[in-house]
Structure 1
Amino acid sequence: MSELGINLGLAMLIMFSISPQSFFSLEGLSKIWDDVLYSFVLCLGLGYGNGTLNCILDKHYSWIDFPVKRLIYNVVVLLLYSFLFSLITVYVFINIRFREEASGLTLSEYISFTYMPLAIAAVITIFITSRGFLMGWRQSVIEAEQLKRAQIASQYESLKNQINPHFLFNSLNALTNLVYEDQDQAARFIRKLSEIYRYVLDTQDKEVISLREEVAFVHSCIFLHQIRFEDNLRVDIQLAEDENLMIPPLSLQMLVENAIKHNEISGEQPLHICIKSTDGQIEVTNNLQRKRQGENSLGLGLQNIKARYEHLSGSPIEITEDQKSFTVKLPLLKFSAT
């Protein structure tokens, strides 16, 4: 009802601007009621139609992803619709109100009656286009800020996983034993540990990283864990190192860390993690053997990965769980690292 009221008000305003004296007498009002109805139909059709078309364009051509194309489509589609709707409306009203005179009118004369509706439509198009652009710009700013926060949360989560007291204690304890038992392995352990911190620092300002670099980083993390768990932790990585395939940094590492953090790992219950590519996705699967009294988790790692993928590609990650396994599928991205 509010839309009808607004459009009726616009119709009255248009007619008042054209013939204000008609509003100050009953005779004048009786003569312009059909003109008010004509203006009302035009306002309602142009406003509702252009708004609907704008929503359809929103679904196919985002202001953020296709700004130039969207601007062209907005102007062409909305104005073309406005012209056709105005022409049809003019034709119908003239043939109803002036049936005898209408028989002698040419197409060019009908078109001349659409000039004022097109002027109104141009104002509507400018308003809708400007509003859409500003809303798209506002959304891009919001998404950029959300991604920035997600990246910060990701870096914090990764660093927390690596520097928490349990990790440091276990790593230093393993390193102490290696120094006495195998000095070469101890030196390699230290190199891998430094590579982990270097990678986190190097990727802190990047939205995506090459799959090859992420896999190399994951290998470093796995090496440290296998010093502790030995053959009780088994990780099988089957990924092609394609430079064109990208992934948000630390996403694979987070999934591996989650699997290690929340599952029992022992000689009786070894943990198997499989990382492979399937149909344009990376699939990370581990056998499910949850700790009875594990660390509390709010799922921040998975929430972070979800948010980053929604911003970067709009493609959702897939999470499946059954009695035996837990699987996360990450879409592979194909664009240059920034």
Structure 2
Amino acid sequence: MIYLSILMAERVGIVIILAFLLVNIPAFRRLLFAKTFAARLQLVIIFALFAILANITGIEIDPTNDLHDKVLLTAVNHNDSIVNARILAVTMAGIIGGPWVGGSVGLIAGLHRVMQGGFASQAWFYIPSSALIGLLSGYLYKDKNSSFTGMTPKRGFIVGLSMETIQMIFVFLFSPTGWRLVSFIALPMIIISSIGTSIFISVITMYLRQEEETRATQTHSVLQLTNETLPYFRNGLNRQSAEKVVKIIKAHTNFDAISITNRHIILAHVGAGSDHHIAGETMVTNLSESVIHSGQVRVAKNAEEIGCSHVNCPLQAAIVVPLRIGNKVAGTLKMYYTDSWRLTPVEIQLATGLGEIFANQIALGEAEMQAKLVRDAEIKSLQAQVNPHFFFNAINTISAMMRRDADKARQLLLQLSTYFRANLIGARATKITLAQERDHVNAYLSLEQTRFPDKYEVHFNSEVNNDVLLPPFTIQVLVENAIKHAFGNRKSGNKVLINIWRQNNRLILQVADNGCGIPASLLPKLGQEVVPSEHGSGTALQNLNQRLTGLYDQQSHLQFDTGKNGTKVTISLPLQTKGGTGNESLNRG
């Protein structure tokens, strides 16, 4: 029995080594969480191959329990049995892919086992037993939300033990040698297979946990970079801003060289290759020109793909990301390694994300500069500004959340991106759709409510289509004003209600709160002049009121109804939709 245990451990070890190699392939890791039929089918193929490999590397055992250790078992005597790791592969298929994958792999594995025995009648029970084990491991132990992420090695051991025990029951009931065979192979197969299942789970979860930690670190790096580069890129894409930014990126990442270009010249380069990648001179790589013309991210894994004109260029791998402003590529962000093996999907993802953030920052900066040249310069300039207090509070909130919940931190980072995008849209347009305004409000609320859990309760009720038009930040300003000023130091029970409806040919927007009300002395000033407060500059309501009356008519001004039970702010706008339906031309403003 000891010798059998050693042989069985060798076979399970082969499966574990293959699992370790497999989990290092990004395409396989993506399959673990994909929900499509194609992904499930690929998992069936992969684990069916595992199971077949387990069958053909098994140990043949005759009716007298003598072992025949062969290299490969393509066929066995119909009276002989096989000790193998097939159930381990079937069990893992069920745990990872669910009952459909587990059952399919079990069916294939059982059918192959029958084929090995020449389709002998006494071997047919392997088909239903293997399929049943695959189904049970999928039904009983598949987490509904994220596959096997809740499976611990200890729990994996119990699952493996249970599934192998079921197989032994089938062998006892249907094998010609029955108890004689089971008494000899049961303990080694059950224990070794259970340990193998536990190790298999450990290998995959350990790798995914490390990948998750890497992503959390990457998110933190992106936040720091965003925080530090914002002041520079808001001044536009030029040599001065680019020189500052490449140094910041180099300090926060492990790249050997960083470069930023516009469409024609190198704006800044730091790190390896600085002797010939010189700021102010024309680009020296074919890869950069390709990205500018295609607008697509390009990855080079050797010097030939980079295409540097300098013969002795030390750069061996590169990620080039287009800095896209609207529909135009304004330049590129280039990140280099001197060793191509250091370029991994994590670095590619980091570079791509940074490129998108920098492009948004540049676009915001350009929008601010353009806003100063147009008729509504003062309004659009205010729209384009990102409140520094809100931005730094959001950064601090996301950084704190990252230590507790990396997934939540990434979601908040996306909301912050939505908030920036809304500022950009608001800087370029005098009117946006209700859907866009609602996204902006939701992004603001997600960040604010994470900072102050359960402090505010906000409800959004709309009786109109999402394509109606209104000035940017109309609802967001009123919601933010209510959250900042309406409730004082009250910690709970704070409610904000947003109501939108149509009244004849007018669009009615109303934001109501159950706060403390507005002092009578301030009421005549709101919307008419700057009203300073400890929570802001006091310009938001005045700016909003000027935009409303400037874009529409005097009937569109802010209307306040306040008392000790709260405040209602109502706006009446001419009803207009994105398609052009309404009482007034959309070309105005």
Structure that is richer in helix per residue: 1
**Higher RCO, 1 vs 2 (CA within 8 Å, ≥6 residues apart):** 1
